[in-house]
């Protein structure tokens, strides 16, 4: 027999299956010997008040064992001989989920990825701290798994497409992610676990007859009139130029500036898109735990590192926290020379001594004069270059204590930080663009009033966060998901301006694959 219960319990009771079993026996009058297993179906923490509770929905298996998997697997089969090929450019979440979905349709995905496989790219990321140089083809944004691979792996999304979101989470579980992501209100995988999951997804693609070409960069589309029939690419190991034929799912992410430049030059319809710009704010994680859990002793043994989320309006623009990483690291996320870009990630246990988040200000295309479709990207480039110059032309990031930033004072020293390439004290209030610095200063005052202790010199502002989303939208038809003019081209994921985050990029990847299948069928 299976029984489901809604429980509101202490963090200690919610901590393990054994604790939950004991609670059910006590509170629901069950004989503990008959409870074979307990499966948590939903879990959320209620930390709004002094006493913290965990809300659980659980299924108890009475006198029987669970007879199904904790996730719903997708049946990926080998694609038939001679199956039509669809090119997938970029192996981030958008490209990976597009490729897997093509396999479900019996089509052969051919992935071109400019970066290296998910393990090899790790070495290039480590070199950033060692050499203070960024490899423009292999870094925190480029390589197998895309920008999502060495991230927090936060998987919550504002997307209302529940079915599609569930599918993405289940595919992650099928490839090795913990099934806790199906239950948690704020699921995350963790940067230590993501590479194995991504390798698993690639293995499925290869086993089913797909192709993955690493260090192979698309350089241009091959067009016949207004139809794309393939791409030109370069093998970055040998310099050999190659052509690949097929319709194209273009999932190159928000940092492939060469792709945007090529599209602009080739007069492919694109437009400027709003982004958000600011900094990473890093606090000691214990301080955030104390504030959010209303307890001077912090989170104790049974609670995860605390999260926060702030939002306000200053002078007509949103100021908000973004991509919060409790118990994580601030990382160097630039994709080329003469740039500093920071971002955040955390391991699955969220166990470091620091908690960080992006603190950003909304930037609209109309905030930048002109009508160039690349003007928001050019703005990003300018701010990133300024930051690199302020950082001594290395990856040492300019930084300022939080209260000093708000009060417009240079910091004489800086607190310890998780940012491995190092920090350098700098008056961010002075050189960040005024519309950004001023709004952040005002926003921090609001957040400090909302959460006592948050506005403090124990926290450090680290510049600059610019890669919050795509600065360009590649225009596509709402129904066919095809580019507005070019047949057979499916702009996909974050880089095309239709997703923001791992899950939404995955959902968009699946949708583009569905659209490509229809296109292939009609044009057979
Ligand atoms: C450090 C960091 C942490 C993040 N944390 C989170 C998080 O916790 N949760 C969350 O939801 N989101 C997070 N994000 C955002 C998330 O990673 C992106 O939204 C997501 O990866 C977008 O997926 P995508 O497939 O559209 O693009 P991307 O992931 O950017 O993938 C694009 C791929 O295309 C490749 N490519 C580019 N140009 C070419 C070319 N010319 N030829 C061939 N290949 C090319 C790139 O190498 C890359 O692998 C984070 C991002 C970063 C940088």
319-363: pLDDT as tens digits:
999 999 999 999 999 999 999 999 999 999 999 999 999 999 999
Q: With residue 423 as reference, give the H or E element that holds it.
A: strand 423-425
Best probe residue, ligand 1, of 148, 332, 360 (max atoms within 8 Å of C-beta): 148
| Alpha carbon of 254 to ligand 1 centroid (Å) | 7
pLDDT cut 90: percent of the chain above it: 94
Q: How confident is the model at residue 235 (pLDDT cuts 50, 70, 90)?
A: very high
Helix (H, G, I), strand (E, B) or coil at 167: helix
Res 50 pLDDT > 80: no
pLDDT tens string 261-304:
999 999 999 999 999 999 999 999 999 999 999 999 999 999 99
Q: Which protein residues are within 6 Å of ligand 1, measured from CB?
A: 89-95, 112-115, 140-143, 146-148, 151-154, 217-218, 251-254, 256, 259, 323, 331, 333, 343, 345, 493-495, 499-503, 505
Rounded Cα distance, 241 and 217, in Å: 10
Exposed / middle / buried, residue 522 (Cβ in 10 Å: 0-12, 13-18, 19+): exposed
Among protein residues, the one with the nearest Cα to ligand 1's atom 33 is 90
Residue 49 confidence (pLDDT): 78
Question: How far is Cα 179 from Cα 58, in angstroms, rounded to an integer?
Answer: 14
Pocket of ligand 1, candidates 147, 241, 510: which has the most ligand atoms within 8 Å of its Cβ, to mutate? 147
- The closest residue, in CA terms, to atom 11 on ligand 1 is 501
pLDDT digit string, tens, across residues 160-211: 677 789 999 999 999 999 999 999 999 999 889 999 999 999 999 999 999 9
Long-range contacts of 443-447 (CB under 8 A, 24+ apart): 443/310, 443/312, 443/314, 443/319, 443/320, 443/359, 443/361, 444/359, 444/402, 444/405, 444/406, 445/406, 446/310, 446/312, 446/314, 446/319, 447/310, 447/312, 447/321
For ligand 1, the distance from its centroid to the CA atom of residue 150, given in whole angstroms, is 9
- Cα separation, 260 vs 482, in Å, equals 17
CB atoms within 10 A of CB 196: 14
Other Cβ atoms within 10 Å of 282 Cβ, number: 30
């Amino acid at each position: 027999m299976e029984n489901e219960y809604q429980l509101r319990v202490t963090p200690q009771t919610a901590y393990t299956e054994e604790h939950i079993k004991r609670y059910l026996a006590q509170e629901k009058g069950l004989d503990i010997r008959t409870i074979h297993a307990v499966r948590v179906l939903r879990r959320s923490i209620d930390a709004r008040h002094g006493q913290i509770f965990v809300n659980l929905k659980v299924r108890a298996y009475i006198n029987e064992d669970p007879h199904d998997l904790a996730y719903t697997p997708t049946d990926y089969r080998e694609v038939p001989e001679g199956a039509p090929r669809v090119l997938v450019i970029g192996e981030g979440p958008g490209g990976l989920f597009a490729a897997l979905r093509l396999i479900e349709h019996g089509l052969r995905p051919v992935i071109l990825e400019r970066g290296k496989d998910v393990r090899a790219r790790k070495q290039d990321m480590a070199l950033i701290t060692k050499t203070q140089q960024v490899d423009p083809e292999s870094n925190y944004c480029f390589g197998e798994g895309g920008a999502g691979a060495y991230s927090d792996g936060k998987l919550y999304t504002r997307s209302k497409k529940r079915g599609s979101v569930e599918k993405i989470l289940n595919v992650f579980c099928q490839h090795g992610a913990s099934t806790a992501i199906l239950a948690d209100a704020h699921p995350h995988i963790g940067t230590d676990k993501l590479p194995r999951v991504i390798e698993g997804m690639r293995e499925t693609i290869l086993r089913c007859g797909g192709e993955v070409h690493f260090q192979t960069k698309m350089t241009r589309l091959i067009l016949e009139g207004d139809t794309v029939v393939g791409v030109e690419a370069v093998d970055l190991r040998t310099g050999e130029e190659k052509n690949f034929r097929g319709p194209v799912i273009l999932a190159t992410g928000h940092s492939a500036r060469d792709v945007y430049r090529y599209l602009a030059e080739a007069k492919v319809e694109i437009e400027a898109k709003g982004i958000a710009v600011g900094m990473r704010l890093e606090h000691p994680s214990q301080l955030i735990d104390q504030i959010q859990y209303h307890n001077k002793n912090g989170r104790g043994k049974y609670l995860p590192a605390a999260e926060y989320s702030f939002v306000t309006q200053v002078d007509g623009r949103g100021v908000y926290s973004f991509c919060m990483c409790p118990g994580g690291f601030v990382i160097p996320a630039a994709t080329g020379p003469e740039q500093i870009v920071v971002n955040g990630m955390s391991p699955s246990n969220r166990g470091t001594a620091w908690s960080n988040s992006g603190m950003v200000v909304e930037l609209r295309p109309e905030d930048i004069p002109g009508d160039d479709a690349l003007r928001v990207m050019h703005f990003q480039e300018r701010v990133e270059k300024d930051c690199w110059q302020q950082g001594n032309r290395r990856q040492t990031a300019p930084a300022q204590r939080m209260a000093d930033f708000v009060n417009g004072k240079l910091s004489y020293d800086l607190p310890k930080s998780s940012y491995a390439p190092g920090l350098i004290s700098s008056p961010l209030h002075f050189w960040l663009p005024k519309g950004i610095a001023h709004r952040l200063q005002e926003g921090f005052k609001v957040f400090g009033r909302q959460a006592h202790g948050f506005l403090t010199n124990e926290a450090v502002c680290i510049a600059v966060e610019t890669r919050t989303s795509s600065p360009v939208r590649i225009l596509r038809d709402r129904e066919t998901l095809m580019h507005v003019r070019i047949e057979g081209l499916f702009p996909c994921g974050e880089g095309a301006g239709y997703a923001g985050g791992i899950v939404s990029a995955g959902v968009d990847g699946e949708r583009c694959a569905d659209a490509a299948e229809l296109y292939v069928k009609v044009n057979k």
